[in-house]
Amino acid sequence: MATPKIRLEGVHKAFGPKQVLRGIDLEIASGESLVVIGGSGTGKSVLLKSTLGLIRPDRGRILIDGAETQDLSGGDRVGLMKRFGMLFQGAALFDSLTVWENVAFGLIQGRGESRKRAKEIAVDKLAQVGLGPDVAALYPAELSGGMQKRVGLARAIAAEPEIIFFDEPTTGLDPIMADVINDLIVKCRRDLGATTLSITHDMASARKIADRIAMIHEGRIIWAGPAAQVNDSGNPYVDQFVHGRADGPIQMQVRVS
Amino acid sequence: MNFLAAIGRTFLAFLAAVGRLALFTLTALAQCLKPPFYPRLFLRQVIDIGYYSLPVVGLTALFTGMVLALQTQAGFSRFGAGGFGADVVLLSVVRELGPVLAGLMVAGRIGASMAAEIGTMRVTEQIDALSTLSTNPYKYLVAPRLVAGLLMLPCLVIVADIIGVFGGFLISVYRLGENPSAYIASTWQALQAEDVVLSLLKAAAFGFVVALMGCYHGYNSRGGAQGVGAATTNAVVSASILILLFDFMITGLYVG
């Protein structure tokens, strides 16, 4: 059996008394698109950031191509990051830099490309996400939310990474723009042949971009399977979430106790 | 018993905060020495701290020197020692008020701005984005600010010292009617290299503290706009207190 691209074994993380991840076990094959669904506060973002190394897990192992990464720091961590791209929920563009400088940031700082060459690549990547060269000289504050997401996507794919993470890629967008972003994610992934891990609570997005879907609840993966089976999972938690029902095993806290 | 437990918890929390700050400082200092360096970012901080703080520091020094001259004349004349105005203004400004007031002004202007900028980057995930783009946030954000703070506050204090003494000169000559040549001669006579060295040493320490507090509180801010606001306040308050503490410690070591 081939070594999974990403493998999480018994990953735990707590913030003070609050246990967020309670033993996450997950595998993502090379070239696969896995989408993790789950409600707010279930540990999706912590899972993503732990895998990426932005948060250090308390226990458990995170393996990339079979090599443990949870204890990497300094130059080794920087080297590992060159293999990753990330689209943040709010795009996380650097507001003191222009759009092209944002897209080219990893190329200039991380890979030592010249500014001229990096700008050419940035303009090319912006074109791939449907933004013209006129946008390149603007600042992030001059863009709409959807355009910021596209710039964030262009930045995530600029260095043509092997692994791309998407944190709530469609949150805050209108349905049409959300679909545009979903199409772009599918296209970028296909073009690069990258392995992707996405977290979302938008089921339309999950169905469109996922090969496989996993559901996280109270810090554990409670179901994982092919995207096509998500409607017939046989899991009451997944059914409640997928159909957006208030009644079911997942009890939302609606008032402060 | 609860009272003792509360004291213990507070003390432990204080020790933990000191530990976090020490770790942050050591990590940032290590990154100051290791390549790659970011000269453009350093230059931007040099301009922000050194150039754009000049008006506020200059005005503060000017008025301080003028007030000192007035107060010295008014106070010392009671004891028949009104002729020491130039010496008192010089020593007060160079040894004490120049670096301390410049430090406090820069803490208000630069410490707050650093905390707000880095804090906003923290809560909007821009610092996480730096890490994902193979860039060490300590090296990219903190190191240029620390080095610029360390180097630029002494430059500002030289200017503040000169302007402060000049303010004393203006009042002494044009308001109190002292002889300008005698005032300048007296100032030169009182000026000693070790006082200037002390002034610059304090300034370097204050510049480092202001930048460190701005970066530390910004870097560790949490929870949106409210968190950034708290980080800004904490940066200014802690930098101001540390400036006064370091001023006391350095003066104590100097005086012996």
Write down the ipTM of this complex.
Answer: 0.88
* Number of cross-chain residue pairs from A and B with Cβ atoms under 8 Å apart: 53
* Cβ-defined contact of A78 to B136 (cutoff 8 Å): yes
Please report residues of B whose CB lies closer than 8 A to that of A110.
133-135
With 0-12 CB in 10 A as exposed, 13-18 as middle and 19+ as buried, what is A114?
A: exposed
* Cβ-defined contact of A92 to B124 (cutoff 8 Å): yes
Kindly report the average pLDDT of chain A as a whole number: 89
- CA distances (Å), B22 to each of B30, B51, B78, B114, B213, in order? 12, 30, 49, 19, 12
Please report residues of A whose CB lies closer than 8 A to that of B131.
53-54, 81
Under the banding of pLDDT at 50, 70 and 90, the label for residue A178 is confident
Instruction: Please list the rounded mean pLDDT of every run of 10 residues in chain B (256 residues).
Output: 88 94 95 88 95 96 95 80 80 94 96 96 94 91 96 96 95 91 92 93 97 96 91 96 96 86
Please report residues of A whose CB lies closer than 8 A to that of B36.
109
> Hey, where are the domains in chain B?
36-255
pTM reported for the whole predicted model: 0.88
Predicted pLDDT at B92:
93
Domains, chain A, in order of start with CATH, read 1-81+195-257 (3.40.50.300)
The number of helix segments (H) and strand segments (E) in chain A equals 8, 10
Q: Which residues of A fall below an 8 Å CB-CB distance to B? A: 49, 52-54, 78-79, 81-82, 84-86, 88-90, 92-95, 105-106, 109-111, 155
Q: What SS3 class is residue B224?
A: helix
The amino acid sitting at B52 is: Y
Tokens found for residue B171: 């009042």
Candidate from B125, B133, B140 with C-beta closest to A106: B133
Q: How far apart are the first and last CA of chain A?
A: 49
Q: What is the mean pLDDT of residues A109-134?
A: 90
Predicted pLDDT at B204:
97
Chain A: closest CA distance from residue B242 (Å): 29
Testing the interface with A: which of B23, B122, B130, B132 to mutate, by most A Cβ within 10 A? B132
